[in-house]
């Protein structure tokens, strides 16, 4: 397919993609848009101009500050809008292309807009679904028994904090907390010294189930709206001290960065593949009747304050994941948990088999024992330092086009120097 909007060969947003976002243009209110090339198409304006079918929603849901109300209309409506937008943007359709007023008011350069969180996030769940990552971390903690006995029987995860999920470009402040220095007898309070990123991919839910009702893997298709990049920032030293017996708390809750673009499952459909063979066989409720893995190339880039351009420090692929999205959602709901429209589910760190495919600094520098070198400046990194910018990016490679996710990036700011008053 081709669009009348100019799209470069390496663009993440060809007409085959059409990812959703929420943006504001100068001082106007945030509203819903779609990415095409280096532009954002304003869906709220198109709706008011009568360019979109009124049956898509009872009112202009695209004028709202989040995608939730549109997404709640359901999968048939998602498909109808995608078809309509594809027609509007197709190269032989003059409707918007040749109307100067429509064109100027509906199409904005991405460089001229501000992006916001795409969904109002009611709940955030983080999984631990890469066997390579879980094994690497396990080797550091339990060399003789890297994987816990339950790991290959259920998608391990925890319910995180939705209020600290931020959109790409938001600065991230180094967290303070308690840590236990080596050979010390009592913990100390202060900034985390071992700040890390986690390369993850997440999905947003687009359908709700009542409390007490389960969701099967066969039903997951109707519940999963689209995917985003996720950086679940982690303070490893705080985590090491606090995580037993209950798991992550302050080490994870200070910030989670997501990309502003929600790539729909329809756009990703051509890249659906069979996943890792699960051995031992999973319990019947976790069986899937179709492929649920996607071929998504992923990278992490780091730029220090001394560097003129970022350096790629990790290359991996989402297809490495052991547990898939349908299994994650089904396991979350097997006890009757109620899913809401706009809940965010993160994959857990995506790591591959080779050292340059590890999706966290903890693995890349092997707990600080093998620092990585930044080629341009010769600086070394055991963990992320103040002033560093971390950006995640990802895409599916088609025949002459990409289905991309843009970036999920953030710059690390110094910790607050004051201690809370007693």
245 preceded by a cis bond (ω within 30 of 0): yes
Given the structure tokens 């996710």, which residue do they identify?
405
Tokens in use for 379? 């600086």
- In which element (H, E) is residue 76 found? helix 75-89
Average pLDDT over residues 262-273: 98
> Sheet holding 402-413: strands in order across?
172-173, 402-413, 389-397, 297-303, 311-317
- Residue 22 and residue 67 in contact, taking contact as beta carbons nearer than 8 Å: yes
For residue 311, the SS3 value is strand
DSSP-assigned states of every residue in 320-346: G-SS-HHHHHHHHHTT-PPP-TT-EEE
Given the structure tokens 């589910």, which residue do they identify?
345
Average pLDDT over residues 261-271: 98
At 332-388, the pLDDT tens digits run 999 999 999 999 999 999 999 999 999 999 999 999 999 999 999 999 999 999 999
Report CA 383 to chain centroid distance, whole Å. 21
For residue 36, the SS3 value is strand
At 407-416, the pLDDT tens digits run 999 999 999 9
Residue ranges and CATH numbers for the domains of the chain are 20-116 (2.30.30.230), 124-413 (3.90.850.10)
> CA 283, 286, 290, 291 torsion: positive or negative?
negative
pLDDT for residue 422: 67
- pLDDT exceeds 70 at position 104: yes
Tokens in use for 81? 């809008």
What whole-number distance in Å separates Cα of residue 158 and Cα of residue 107? 40
Pairing of strands 165-167, 256-258: parallel
At 141-158, the pLDDT tens digits run 888 889 999 999 999 999
280 preceded by a cis bond (ω within 30 of 0): yes
At 162-206, the pLDDT tens digits run 999 999 999 999 999 999 999 999 999 999 999 999 999 999 999
- In which element (H, E) is residue 126 found? strand 124-127
Split at pLDDT 50, 70, 90, the class of 419 is: confident
What whole-number distance in Å separates Cα of residue 118 and Cα of residue 105? 21
Given the structure tokens 């010390």, which residue do they identify?
184
Q: How far apart are the first and last CA of the chain?
A: 63
- pLDDT exceeds 70 at position 306: yes
Is position 133 annotated as part of the catalytic site? yes
Catalytic residue among 59, 133, 153, 331: 133
At 12-35, the pLDDT tens digits run 999 999 999 999 998 899 999 999
Q: Which residue, among 249, 240, 374, 366, has the nearest Cα to 300 in the 3D structure?
A: 374
- pLDDT exceeds 70 at position 60: yes
At 210-249, the pLDDT tens digits run 999 999 999 999 999 999 999 999 999 999 999 988 888 9
């Amino acid at each position: 397919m081709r669009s009348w909007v100019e799209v470069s060969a390496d663009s993440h947003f060809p007409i085959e993609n059409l990812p959703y976002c929420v943006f504001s243009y100068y001082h106007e209110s945030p509203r819903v848009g779609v990415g095409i090339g280096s532009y954002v198409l304003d869906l709220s304006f198109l709706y008011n101009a009568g360019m979109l079918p009124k049956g898509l929603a009872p009112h202009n849901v695209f004028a709202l500050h989040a995608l939730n109300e549109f997404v709640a209309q359901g999968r048939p409506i998602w498909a109808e809008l995608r078809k309509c937008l594809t027609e509007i943007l197709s190269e032989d359709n003059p409707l918007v292309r040749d109307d100067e007023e429509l064109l100027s008011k509906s199409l904005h350069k991405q460089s001229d807009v501000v992006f916001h969180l795409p969904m109002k996030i009611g709940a955030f769940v983080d999984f631990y679904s890469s066997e390579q990552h879980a094994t690497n971390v396990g080797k550091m903690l339990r060399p003789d028994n890297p994987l816990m006995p339950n790991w290959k029987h259920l998608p391990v995860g925890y319910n995180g904090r939705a209020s600290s999920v931020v959109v790409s470009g938001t600065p991230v402040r180094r967290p303070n907390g308690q840590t236990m220095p080596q050979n010390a007898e009592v913990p100390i309070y202060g900034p985390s010294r071992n700040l890390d990123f986690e390369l993850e991919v997440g999905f947003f839910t687009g359908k709700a189930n009542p409390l007490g009702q389960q969701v099967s893997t066969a039903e997951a298709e109707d519940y999963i709206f689209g995917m985003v990049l996720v950086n679940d920032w982690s303070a490893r030293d705080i985590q090491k001290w606090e995580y037993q017996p209950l798991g992550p708390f302050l080490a994870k809750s200070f910030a989670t960065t997501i990309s502003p673009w929600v790539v729909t499952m329809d756009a990703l459909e051509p890249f659906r593949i069979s996943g890792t063979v699960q051995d031992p066989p999973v319990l019947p409720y976790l069986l899937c009747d179709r492929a649920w893995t996607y071929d998504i190339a992923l990278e992490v880039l780091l730029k220090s304050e001394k560097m003129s351009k970022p350096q790629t420090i990790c290359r991996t692929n989402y297809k490495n994941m052991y547990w898939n999205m349908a299994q994650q959602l089904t396991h979350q709901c097997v006890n009757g948990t109620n899913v809401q429209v706009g809940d965010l589910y993160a994959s857990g760190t995506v790591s591959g088999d080779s050292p340059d495919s590890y999706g966290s600094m903890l693995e890349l520098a092997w707990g600080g024992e093998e620092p990585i070198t930044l080629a341009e400046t010769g600086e070394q990194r055991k963990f992320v330092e103040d002033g560093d910018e971390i950006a995640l990016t990802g895409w599916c490679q088609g025949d002459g086009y990409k289905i991309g996710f843009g970036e999920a990036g953030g710059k690390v700011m110094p910790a607050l120097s004051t201690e809370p008053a007693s």
